[in-house]
Amino acid sequence: MYLARVDTHEKLFLGGEWVAPAADGTIEVVSPHTQETIATVAAATAADVDRAVGAARAAFDDGPWPRLAPAERVAAIRRLGEVYAGRRKEMVETIVAELGAPVRFAKTAQVGLPTHNIGVLAGIAEAYPWEESRPGAFGRDVLLRREPVGVVAAVVPWNMPQFLTVAKVVPALLAGCTVVVKPAPEAALDALLLAEIVEQAELPAGVVSILPGGREVGAHLVASPGVDKVSFTGSSGAGRLVARACAANLTKVSLELGGKSAAIALDDADPATVAAAVSMSAMGMAGQICNGLTRVLAPADRADEFAEALAAVVSGLRVGDPADPATDVGPLVARRQQERVRGYIETGRGEGARLVTGGTELPDGIDRGWYVRPTVFADVDNTMTIAREEIFGPVFVVIPHAGDDAAVALANDSDYGLAGSVFTADVDRGLAIAARVRSGTFGVNEGYGMDPAAPFGGVKGSGYGRELGREGIDAFVDVKSITVAAAG
């Protein structure tokens, strides 16, 4: 198992320096596979947040970073990307150990995608319209300048920490902002490794701080009057609290929240194709993926066929040690998450759904770790708890539909609107379905792939604002309009 020894990290990366925290609290990082402590990390406090925001404020108000030409910031971010790429192996090992991500998934999605995305986002910044003019209505042109919004608070969850941190921090830096990152305590180790990468890339002092801590630290950060923009990823319930805190200070905020995304199988869809795409969308992190396709809407007369195909795929996945390259599904991140998912499985049984595969027992050959067997329910009604609430575990539900209109209605009958997909032999028919489903992102004949050139985000209970693409930079700029009259 990676990181078998117990590491100790006694300092925080604050204002570009490694400093002792204001108090002596610590975070114990526990392996989801062995249930043993693998590291002890200094825990940030509200006082540390205040120091970091102050450093970020000074770096923004008086430092060089916001005043660099965009091309200079792009060059610095490309340098950061080079350093990041050189430490990919360490990052993979860290994420496997602390989060239980299977090593193959860690290499590709957890670390490979962020490495790639840094370069893509830098390229987007090179073509970004930092300054442009447009014809005014009164005979003189209007000059538009896109300027950095200021100090950014980036609050990142544990499930895809590097992907989400890069999606927030890199566009903010390219825009000229300074950033305070609050990673989840479960993902403290990869956050500290990122801090080392930032230091190695020699970004100016105060531009980035990284403060692992609990919810109270995040709450203090988003409520800080020194913060100009909050970028938050987490649950819908937490997002509502963040929105209220930001409203008190009129702080700009983007919220990327939960999901209960539907995979719509039309009557000409292939069950095996749907099953493979649905499994791939969520199982890399044992179902702990916000845009995973966990609701499968299948034609009523073939619903059992789709359920059996999905069950065949997920029951054939190898569950076990995340450091083993043959592993497909690792453990859930914590005991509380395992108990939560098991509770949903029991609720599904109690409400009358038919268990096709999986359940609450540990997978065969596993006697420790926070594992849950990949689970598929059939005969699910869209009013059931397992059809409506985000389980955040390896649980799929198959819901019958009575045609295209009924499938769209079922897909939209959700508090969430993050992602979705449709599967059909007729692409035009699929595009027509995509136009009718209320979600921020959508795929036709695939699980939605997070292309860094395309904006990602949700509607309804899945939040508002967009990350990645040009829109990812838009989120961190203010637009200033300037008109000029001739002298005299």
Place of tokens 């819901």: 399
On whether both 170 and 301 belong to a single domain, the answer is no
On whether both 121 and 172 belong to a single domain, the answer is yes
On whether both 236 and 92 belong to a single domain, the answer is yes
On whether both 220 and 273 belong to a single domain, the answer is no
Task: Specify if 93 maps to a domain.
Answer: yes
On whether both 286 and 323 belong to a single domain, the answer is yes
Q: How far is Cα 297 from Cα 282, in angstroms, rounded to an integer?
A: 16
Q: What amino acid occupies position 225?
A: P
Coil vs helix vs strand at 336 = helix
Task: Specify if 486 maps to a domain.
Answer: no
On whether both 242 and 295 belong to a single domain, the answer is no
36 catalytic per annotation: no
Domain, as residue range, for 193: 7-257+463-480
On whether both 134 and 249 belong to a single domain, the answer is yes
The 10 Å CB-count burial string (b at 16+, else e) for 242-265 is bbebbeeeebbbbbbbbbbbbbbb
Task: Specify if 437 maps to a domain.
Answer: yes
pTM, two decimal places: 0.96
Task: Specify if 485 maps to a domain.
Answer: no
Q: How many residues does the chain have?
A: 488
Query: How far is Cα of residue 220 from the mean position of the Cα atoms in its chain?
Result: 21
Task: Specify if 1 maps to a domain.
Answer: no
Total of domains in the chain: 2
On whether both 130 and 219 belong to a single domain, the answer is yes
The per-residue pLDDT for 2 is 46
H/E element, 404: helix 404-412
Give 110-137 as a DSSP string. Answer: IIIHHHHHHHHHHHHHHTS-SEEEE--T
What's the farthest any 2 CA atoms get from each other in the chain? 85
Report the CATH number that the domain containing residue 14 is assigned in CATH.
3.40.605.10
Q: Digits of tens for pLDDT over the chain (488 positions)?
A: 444 446 899 999 999 999 999 999 999 999 999 999 999 999 999 999 999 999 999 999 999 999 999 999 999 999 999 999 999 999 999 999 999 999 999 999 999 999 999 999 999 999 999 999 999 998 889 999 999 999 999 999 999 999 999 999 999 999 999 999 999 999 999 999 999 999 999 999 999 999 999 999 999 999 999 999 999 999 999 999 999 999 999 999 999 999 999 999 999 999 999 999 999 999 999 999 999 999 999 999 999 999 999 999 999 999 999 999 999 999 999 999 999 999 999 999 999 999 999 999 999 999 999 999 999 999 999 999 999 999 999 999 999 999 999 999 999 999 999 999 999 999 999 999 999 999 999 999 987 678 999 999 999 999 999 999 999 999 999 999 999 887 86
Contact 282, 292 (CB under 8 A): yes
Q: How far is Cα 438 from Cα 278, in angstroms, rounded to an integer?
A: 19
Please report the sign of the dihedral spanned by the C-alpha atoms of residue 389, residue 395, residue 396, residue 399.
negative
On whether both 253 and 278 belong to a single domain, the answer is no
On whether both 299 and 313 belong to a single domain, the answer is yes
Task: Specify if 458 maps to a domain.
Answer: no
Q: What is the DSSP letter of 412?
A: H
The per-residue pLDDT for 6 is 63
Between 46-62 and 215-222, two packed helices, what is the crossing angle to 10 degrees?
40
CB-based contacts of 249, cutoff 8 Å, min separation 6: 223, 224, 225, 227
290 catalytic per annotation: yes
On whether both 187 and 278 belong to a single domain, the answer is no
The per-residue pLDDT for 488 is 66
Question: Catalytic one among 186, 256, 390, 467?
Answer: 256
Task: Specify if 457 maps to a domain.
Answer: no
Question: Catalytic one among 290, 339, 346, 446?
Answer: 290
On whether both 269 and 229 belong to a single domain, the answer is no
